[in-house]
């Protein structure tokens, strides 16, 4: 959206930043979140800084996503700086997928007190640490928390139920991970835990380039096929029941809700 068309918010802007190693579900989480918030009337901006995954990124799902140049870490760092400065100046909500491994974002937080700079500009930063049921999935959380590099007051540990192997219970798979000292430390600082619900036919939806609402209604892209009957039922239950329950576990003031919802909450 061109700068001239941005309508500044009448509340504190929110920046969601998804972090974690590769293949823990950052893109699936943010894809779901953007669809959910936009369906609620929030024209949230989408920033894709994932320089490693080029096939299933936010840019695939959202044509209006702003994408980092396919260049080095320094260019990625500069690109992120520019996006954040624009958000601070024009006051809107956004989500950022930083990618996994060594990234422009990780280099940026090593160089400057990024969190203090952003929040000092009256922007609420929500850190989403995405994990699966493997101890190595806690690397990002440990890296940022132990040296206090980047641990927002609004921190959500997102346990991705979709990464649990078939035949295992989600609770049983995550039990050893959730007892880890890194998780306990984050929770002691006010972090929240939210279990991202599994959708067994997720790839069937994303490979077709469908939104979840389209998939549940049996719609299809030109030349494509709709989901099978029972998969449509699975998506419908997940989208209308499981996803709202997931967001209900996150404090309302951490959610980039529509302006109308904010006014309703304040009036109440």
CATH code for 11-200? 3.40.50.300
Sorting pLDDT into bands at 50, 70 and 90, what band is 53? low
Residue pLDDT, tens place only, 196-229 = 999 999 999 999 999 999 999 999 999 999 999 9
pLDDT attached to residue 4: 42
Q: Provide the residue ranges of all domains of the chain, joining segments of one domain with +.
A: 11-200
For residues 268 and 261, give the distance between their C-alpha atoms in angstroms, rounded to a whole number.
10
- Is this model's pTM higher than 0.85 or not? yes
Residue pLDDT, tens place only, 98-146 = 887 767 888 888 888 889 999 999 999 999 999 999 998 998 888 776 6
Q: What is the mean pLDDT of residues 52-73?
A: 82
Sorting pLDDT into bands at 50, 70 and 90, what band is 258? low
User: What burial class does residue 211 get, using C-beta atoms within 10 Å of its C-beta: 0-12 exposed, 13-18 middle, 19+ buried?
Assistant: middle
């Amino acid at each position: 959206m061109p700068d001239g068309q941005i309508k500044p918010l009448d509340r504190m802007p929110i920046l969601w930043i998804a972090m974690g190693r590769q293949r823990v579900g950052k893109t699936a989480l943010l894809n779901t979140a953007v669809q959910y918030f936009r369906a609620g009337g929030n024209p949230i901006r989408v920033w894709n800084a994932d320089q490693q995954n080029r096939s299933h990124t936010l840019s695939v799902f959202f044509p209006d996503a702003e994408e980092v140049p396919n260049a080095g870490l320094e260019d990625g760092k500069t690109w992120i700086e520019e996006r954040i400065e624009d958000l601070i100046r024009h006051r809107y909500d956004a989500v950022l997928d930083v990618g996994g491994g060594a990234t422009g974002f990780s280099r940026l937080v090593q160089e400057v007190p990024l969190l203090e700079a952003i929040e000092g500009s009256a922007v609420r930063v929500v850190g989403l640490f995405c994990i699966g049921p493997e101890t190595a999935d806690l690397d990002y959380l440990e890296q940022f928390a132990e040296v206090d590099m980047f641990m927002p007051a609004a921190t959500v540990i997102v346990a991705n139920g979709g990464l649990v192997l078939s035949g295992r219970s989600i609770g049983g798979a995550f039990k050893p991970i959730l007892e880890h000292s890194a998780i306990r430390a984050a929770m002691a600082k006010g972090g929240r835990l939210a279990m991202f619900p599994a959708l067994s036919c997720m790839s069937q939806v994303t490979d077709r380039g469908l939104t979840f609402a389209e998939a549940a209604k049996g719609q299809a892209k030109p030349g494509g096929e709709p989901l099978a009957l029972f998969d449509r039922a699975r998506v419908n239950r997940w989208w209308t029941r499981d996803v709202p329950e997931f967001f209900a576990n996150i404090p309302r003031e951490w959610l980039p809700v529509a302006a109308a919802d904010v006014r309703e909450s304040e009036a109440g």
